[in-house]
Structure 1
Amino acid sequence: MTPSSGGSESSSRNHGDGASDRRHESSRSHHSGSGGGSGRSHRHHHGSSSRRRKEQQKKRRKRIIVWSIVGVLALLVFCVVWVGVRGFLAVGELQAAVPLAKSAQQQVVAGDTKAAQQTADELAGHAASAASLTGDPIWRGAEVLPGIGPNLEVMRVVAASVDRIARDAVVPLATSAATIDLASFAPVDGRIDLQPMIDVQMPVHGARIAFDSADAALANVQDAQVIGPLADARYELTSLVDEAGATVIGLDNAVRLLPPMLGADGPRDTLLLFQNNAELRSTGGISGALANVHAEGGAVSMTRQASTRDFPKFTPPVIDLPADTKALWSDNTASYIQDVNFTPQFPLAATIAREMWRLQYGAEVQSVVAVDPVMLSYLLRATGPITLTTGEQLTSENAVQFLLSDVYEQYPVSQQDAIFADAAATAFRALTAGGLDTQALIEALAQAGTERRILVWNADASEQAVLAGTTLAGGLPESDAETQNFGVYLNDQTGSKMDSYLDVQVGAGTVTCRNDGLPNYEVVVKLTNTAPADAATSLPPYVTGGGVFGTPPGNIRTTVHVYSARGTYNLGVALNGEPTDSRPATDTGYEVSKVVSRLAPGESAEYRFGFLGGEAGEKFTATEATPLVSTPETLGVALSCESALW
């Protein structure tokens, strides 16, 4: 039993061990097989995973690119919408703002200060909004885009310019006008209150700077190609800046210069030259009457009057003339008071007149002011009619006719100077007595200044510098990069008062026909003697000259000097389409061409003065001319290479 059991147990254990060994072996074998195959399976699994990662990376990159594109497009859409909406809103603000600027100006001049302030505040609100809408970084960034960019830039500049004008010009001026009555600028009982002028010097000068800044900004985008409505807005604003800016410049000059000239800093004497346009000189006419005006603390009085008959011929000339001036006009310019303004350079003419007055009366003036009868007629709009001691009543309508024509027919030569002096003194009293129409006075002075009928020179260099470049200074024409300016100056050679019958038309044009690109300029001057056919007998000898200086009675003999810019070249003159004798010259660097015209009653002559530009590129042409009884008509001059004379 025992051995049998033991054997069985042993057999069973051995059997179990064998099975276990086989399972273990199988397990090892399986494990070994798995392990052996594991290297190959692991490498296969690793390659598949790498491909999946690459595919996932590609998908991620695609998603990034897609979303980036979507983002950029969304940003562009946002920017377009942003700019478009803000641009639309800005247009509305500008359309509301620009007309208000002119309204505010008119209200200030009219003295409606309350309305001017309200308009100015409304303007400022619209302008500030337009500037804010067009001044953000997104807008500025969009300005680089082709096509739309220039439009955005112009809109931004227009908006910023309106904002600058509103903020620094219109609002301060409207505020100042509300605190100062414009009537305070007018004389009362021979005295002008200078403090109101002094009080507005800073806001007025600030307004001038604002307009200058706007003008410069608009000039920078003047040639940008933009859509029609925006081009119209740019033109409208540019016109407003030009017009209102000129008024502000004149006002700035006035409030800076008038206080010292009216004695704010001490006694001041000013020599008035009353130019007679019936006998032409370059700046207007002979100095038929003169007067000394004394000012002290705003109180003004006319202390001495004189006529040309009170002055001798000064020998030697009172100053040594520049060589160019002497060659053009002779020593007569510095020898006779009637001839001081042969030269078109008023500062020189004023210097000569000042020295003659000193030598004759022992008094040295600090300023010289030239005016003419046409300006007097403008001033009579503000004073109303004045009555002379002879009983004649002068009005704004009849003053020019009486002083430049009727007086010669109605009174002998011995009384004429007294009548001119009486007219000057009576007008001066009317201007200084009070009760003026202030708005009419401002408009009269502005019109006279624009037409060069009032010229001012100050011995003080700093005061004269204020006038530099203005029509009041009476300098030679200045050209710039855009404009070629010419001066047309007329001087009577008849020795008479026939120039009331001289009709003048002036124009200029340009054309480029040369391979080197230098432009040709032509200045056209058409003169006509409108005197009656029987002028030799129907007009008094004092008017016709009586032939004393070699011109037949009724004829008009005139020298015409045309000044061209520095750097140009004189090409000669044609008379009625044919070359004619002319005298080329220079004056302080300017090219000058001179002809002498003699016209019988009813006769006309057309002179064409040719000049070659000194640099390639055509410029806009403009002319300034001697102030006449009537403003010269402007001729349209259209040139072609076939029609040009040179």
Structure 2
Amino acid sequence: MSDLPESRRTAARRGARPRLVLWIVLALVLILILAVAWVGVRALLARGHLERAVGDVDTLRAQLTDGDSAAAKNTAKRLEDEAGAARALTGDPVWGAAQYTPFFGANLRAVRQVSVVVDDVARNAVSPVAGVVGKLDSDSFAPKNGKIDLQPIEDAQPAVAKATRTLTKADRDADAIDTNRTLSPVTTAVAELRNALQTASAQADGANRIVQLAPAMLGHDGDRNYLLLFQNNAELRAGGGIPGSVALLQAHDGSLALQNQAAGSSFGPYDQPVLPLSADTTGLYGKITGEYMQDVTLTPRFDVSAKLAQAMWKQKFGQQVDGVLAMDPVTLSYILKATGPVQLPTGDTLTSDNAVKLLLSDVYAKYPDPTMQDAFFAAAASSVFEKVSTGGFDTKKFIAALALGSDEGRLRLWSATKGEQSRISGTAVAGELPTVSKAARQFGVYLNDGTGSKMDYYLDKTVSVGSSVCRKDGRPTSVVEVTLKNSAPADAATSLPEYVTGGGAFGTEPGKIKTLIAVYAPENAIYLGATQDGKEAALQTATDGGHPVAQLQTMLAPGQSVTFRVVFLGQAKYAKAAVQAMSTPGVDQAETEPLSFECSNPTHAG
């Protein structure tokens, strides 16, 4: 019992309470300081691990490019360790609680999410691929003794598929990181991660499709037969060029052989289209699309063109092919950069520099007889193919050539097997109509020759596209501008061979170029109007599978040009998407240019 008077005991208790509260506050402050220090130290350590992981990514990329598989495996393991350490440092309970504090919490949460994404990519994408890189590199697709070894490609399928799934998820996860309240360095880091993952995810998806498709399509599970359409850009078709030469390509467990060849002109005319055509196709391009091999690519839908070509080959030779491949002389010139010069049976030497001019222009003066021209084209195709099939090429340059040809719309592929075609769909080689998504709104500019000649060698094309929100409802207005010019010499009517000018046989004066321009918008867009050289254009409006189409006919004498503008209204939910335009590849394929316009008068140049 205390000897203090009651009043003094009460006062002592009252004095102890503030001291207790003070000690509690000081303890909490100390805990907070320790927590901040803990988080700060771990943040610095995590940053170091992440920075070293970024350095390892650059090293790994160089090693994979050089084919140094042993070093790549070591780097992949180090990358996995660094990423795992960063994830562990940002995953303890203190860090977890700190993520919900004002101001700093958003930054800590973003750093944690970045660490998780990088670790997932390191463990489930980089490491699996590094494990098979020694057996699977660019040289894996090069024939040795006339045959591609397909087993390593098939063995790599699970690892590449896993990596692709991981990168796709990582791309989504990175996109979901909230950077609205983060500091500039964190915001920048997240943006860089997103850009890297978007590119890596797209590249992985492409690689995965190739790895999954290649073994079966190259005859690993049984022989395959493909139809090769060799398109001539000197006489344009929406899908590229007129199929001047056709050949059978046989694949047997990785070995390729060029079999029967025939001139495109030897197929048709058929009394009726070889397959039923949609009303959209006949309305825009006519029944001849299905009545002549040389016209199957009048439509920009390569799946339609391929099925028609497949049916025509079967009617002529009684053989059902498993797919169709199309390419042009420009792609051949790219491939010649990988193979080097090729000697032809005619005595001509085909090089990357002279292939386009020789195959699309000089041949008509050198060999006036169309039969000799067909023989020359067949000899060129078979000679280059022979060099490729025996592995006589630089693999990296060859892959780059195919990639460039695909990007420019010069290389197309269709498979009659539904599962394979579903993997081809959505890629550059599929030859599909424009699509729309939150990332991009695509437009299509397709050209069909109406001259019945080879004058399109002299047709220059420029495509521009732009978009702006001009309405209160947020729907975007998009403008596609196409400029064509006849760059043939002024005396083309007399200086060029009659076979090139057409000689007026199809109603076009020699030297002039008649062209049908079809501009496609994404599905559910609305056509608003068009002008030709600033004046209201007389054109055909139609639809093709839900895509609004504006089609115009032009006639150009040497030196003349025409500019066609067409305006479409899009959907508000895609207003922020980038606008793109794909177009029929001619002799030259310039990049699409950006276009600015006044909302008050979009059909006229500003």
In structure 2, the CA distance between the partners of 1:462 and 1:82, relative to structure 1 (3 Å rule), is same
Match for residue 637 of structure 1?
595
Match for residue 321 of structure 1?
277
Deviation digits for residues 13-65 of structure 1 (CA, Å, limit 9, x no counterpart): xxxxxxxxxxxxxxxxxxxxxxxxxxxxxxxx9xx848955x66655654454
Match for residue 279 of structure 1?
235
Cα separation, 1, equivalents of 2:329 and 2:106: 50
Counterpart AA for 1:90: A
Cα separation, 2, equivalents of 1:150 and 1:638: 38
Cα separation, 1, equivalents of 2:219 and 2:28: 70
Deviation digits for residues 60-86 of structure 1 (CA, Å, limit 9, x no counterpart): 654454445444444443444344333
Counterpart AA for 1:382: A
Q: Secondary structure at the match of 2:508?
A: coil
Cα separation, 2, equivalents of 1:99 and 1:604: 52
Match for residue 169 of structure 1?
125
Contact 2:255-2:389 at 8 Å conserved across structures: no
Q: Choose the corresponding residue for 1:77, options 33, 42, 49.
A: 33
Counterpart AA for 1:212: T
Deviation digits for residues 484-537 of structure 1 (CA, Å, limit 9, x no counterpart): 221222211222222222222222222122222222111122222222222222
Kindly indicate whether residue 440 of structure 2 is the aligned counterpart of residue 483 of structure 1: yes
Number of equivalences: 601
Matches within 5 A, 1:365-514: 365-412=321-368, 413-514=370-471
Cα separation, 2, equivalents of 1:606 and 1:68: 79
In structure 2, the CA distance between the partners of 1:514 and 1:366, relative to structure 1 (3 Å rule), is same
In structure 2, the CA distance between the partners of 1:109 and 1:245, relative to structure 1 (3 Å rule), is farther
Kindly indicate whether residue 502 of structure 2 is the aligned counterpart of residue 545 of structure 1: yes
Match for residue 30 of structure 1?
none
Counterpart AA for 2:380: A
Match for residue 628 of structure 1?
586
Matches within 5 A, 1:45-124: 49=6, 53=10, 62-63=18-19, 65-124=21-80
Structure 2 length as normaliser, TM-score? 0.91
In structure 2, the CA distance between the partners of 1:401 and 1:61, relative to structure 1 (3 Å rule), is farther
Kindly indicate whether residue 165 of structure 2 is the aligned counterpart of residue 209 of structure 1: yes
Cα separation, 1, equivalents of 2:589 and 2:34: 58
In structure 2, the CA distance between the partners of 1:640 and 1:590, relative to structure 1 (3 Å rule), is same
Per-residue deviation at 1:619?
A: 2.6
Per-residue deviation at 1:582?
A: 2.4
Runs (4+) of structure 1 exceeding 6 A deviation are none
Per-residue deviation at 1:603?
A: 2.4
Match for residue 574 of structure 1?
531
Unaligned runs of at least 5 residues, structure 1: 1-44
Match for residue 40 of structure 1?
none
Matches within 5 A, 1:254-293: 254-293=210-249
Match for residue 250 of structure 1?
206
Match for residue 589 of structure 1?
546
Cα separation, 2, equivalents of 1:543 and 1:150: 67
Superposition RMSD in Å: 2.7
Q: Secondary structure at the match of 1:597?
A: strand
Q: Choose the corresponding residue for 2:147, options 178, 191, 198.
A: 191
Counterpart AA for 1:185: F
The answer to which structure has the higher helix fraction is 1
Match for residue 15 of structure 1?
none
In structure 2, the CA distance between the partners of 1:125 and 1:450, relative to structure 1 (3 Å rule), is farther
Match for residue 602 of structure 1?
559
Contact 1:215-1:241 at 8 Å conserved across structures: yes
Q: Secondary structure at the match of 1:472?
A: coil
In structure 2, the CA distance between the partners of 1:254 and 1:326, relative to structure 1 (3 Å rule), is same
Question: Which moves more between the two structures, 363-372 or 299-308?
Answer: 299-308
In structure 2, the CA distance between the partners of 1:133 and 1:314, relative to structure 1 (3 Å rule), is farther
Counterpart AA for 1:524: E
Counterpart AA for 1:531: A
In structure 2, the CA distance between the partners of 1:304 and 1:87, relative to structure 1 (3 Å rule), is same
Match for residue 521 of structure 2?
564
Per-residue deviation at 1:548?
A: 2.2
Cα separation, 2, equivalents of 1:552 and 1:146: 77
Question: Which moves more between the two structures, 252-261 or 227-236?
Answer: 227-236
In structure 2, the CA distance between the partners of 1:295 and 1:585, relative to structure 1 (3 Å rule), is same
Per-residue deviation at 1:449?
A: 2.6
Cα separation, 1, equivalents of 2:584 and 2:179: 33
Question: Which moves more between the two structures, 401-410 or 268-277?
Answer: 401-410
Cα separation, 2, equivalents of 1:541 and 1:618: 50
Per-residue deviation at 1:102?
A: 4.4
Per-residue deviation at 1:155?
A: 3.4
Contact 1:101-1:170 at 8 Å conserved across structures: no
Per-residue deviation at 1:579?
A: 2.4
Contact 2:265-2:294 at 8 Å conserved across structures: no
Per-residue deviation at 1:226?
A: 4.6
Counterpart AA for 1:353: A
Cα separation, 1, equivalents of 2:484 and 2:173: 41
In structure 2, the CA distance between the partners of 1:515 and 1:286, relative to structure 1 (3 Å rule), is same
In structure 2, the CA distance between the partners of 1:285 and 1:619, relative to structure 1 (3 Å rule), is same
Per-residue deviation at 1:270?
A: 0.8
Cα separation, 1, equivalents of 2:535 and 2:89: 61
Unaligned runs of at least 5 residues, structure 2: none
Q: Secondary structure at the match of 1:187?
A: coil
Cα separation, 2, equivalents of 1:170 and 1:507: 39
Contact 1:378-1:396 at 8 Å conserved across structures: yes
Structure 1 length as normaliser, TM-score? 0.86
Contact 1:101-1:166 at 8 Å conserved across structures: no
Cα separation, 2, equivalents of 1:571 and 1:438: 48
